[in-house]
Amino acid sequence: MNASMKVNCLFFILLFTQGLLWAQTTIQLPDQPNSGPGGSAYVLDSVVMEDFAKFQDGYWLFRPENITVAHRSLIVFNHGYGAFNPMIYGAWIKHLVRHGNIVVFPRYQKNLVSPKPKHFTKNAAVGIVSAIKHLRQKGWLIKEDFHLSIVAHSYGGVVSVGLANDYKGYGIPKPQVIMICSPGSGPFKGGLLESYENIEADTKLLTIISVNDRTVGEKFGRHVFSTSPQIKHSNLLRQFPDQNGDARITAGHNECYGIDEQFDTGLYNRSTRRAMRIEKLDPMDYNGYWKLFDALRSCDQNGTNCNLALGGTSEQASLGNWSDGKKIRPFKVYTKVSDLEK
């Protein structure tokens, strides 16, 4: 074999070896963390689901199987338009309950056309009041002041800040923590307010919008943030898509969907079928929504994990790292209305 042939053989061997190495270094998304906000260090295995949602102002209740002490907090989960089958958000609901929480899931719609959106907020309030009454009768909720937290998606975000803006009028306890994900009403106007200046100043509020949201866009989320400057702890977070090799993070309207068929109520419509088609669990869930809401509640109740929940810190903005160590594109966090781009 002459020198030229040896060089060519060596060249092809190197190419083949590099191809093998490339195939073995496929980029992966990070797994759910073992501990901390958003993590899998669960204290419970089982979740009990109770159905009080026969009517459009009813609710589903998700709780630990054995409640031995009265809880000091309650979580309300307000669904998006048409997404009143709690299976759609089941993974997140299960995460919350397995950490020892009680979750109320109001049903503020009968179907996709009834009632009109202007009734959504009142219906949700009726469901919340009924759930609190039931929990107190069972001795599962401390009758005095307790921490009420609200998390919501899409039209549920409109409902949630509407409730907070006039919680006394709706007859519910003051929401101390609110997180609204991809909030908005699309083509509808029901429940929208000109201003959210009546939300109390000590409320902790996170508004999360996604840059590729083709359903409601960013308008309403920006509106809530801009018209509630009285809130001392209010942050607006913008989420972006990212890609590393074949692995990717999307930034659409329904990033918080996470199916769990254990909570399937048999109520199927266009929203349910869409959720079943597109849902996925990824870092936007456990390093994003789940982490932020867990941390926000921890900050409110115990003064811990505030750096993960508020203030535009790197810890708050982080969605973790790809398997090659590169950072997933983080949230952009706005802590002041004056910093918000037009």
Q: Note the pLDDT tens digit of each residue in 171-216.
A: 999 999 999 999 999 999 999 999 999 999 999 999 999 999 999 9
Beta carbons of 79 and 253 less than 8 angstroms apart: no
pLDDT at position 209: 98
Global confidence as pTM: 0.92
Confidence of residue 145 (pLDDT cuts 50, 70, 90): confident
**Amino acid sitting at position 74:** L
pLDDT at position 11: 45
Confidence of residue 25 (pLDDT cuts 50, 70, 90): low
- The SS3 call for residue 240 is coil
Query: Looking at the predicted structure, is the pLDDT value of residue 112 above 80?
Result: yes
Average pLDDT over residues 329-336: 97
List residues bridging with 148 in a β-sheet.
74, 175
Which strands make up the sheet holding 59-64, listed edge to edge?
Answer: 47-52, 59-64, 103-106, 73-78, 147-153, 175-181, 204-210, 233-239, 332-334
Confidence of residue 143 (pLDDT cuts 50, 70, 90): confident
Question: Whole-number mean pLDDT of the chain?
Answer: 93
Confidence of residue 115 (pLDDT cuts 50, 70, 90): very high
Q: For 286-303, what is each residue's pLDDT tens digit?
A: 999 999 999 999 999 999
CA triplet 48, 207, 239: central angle to 5 degrees?
Answer: 100
List residues bridging with 210 in a β-sheet.
239
Q: E-strand spans in 219-259?
A: 233-239, 242-244, 247-249
Class of domain 45-283: alpha beta
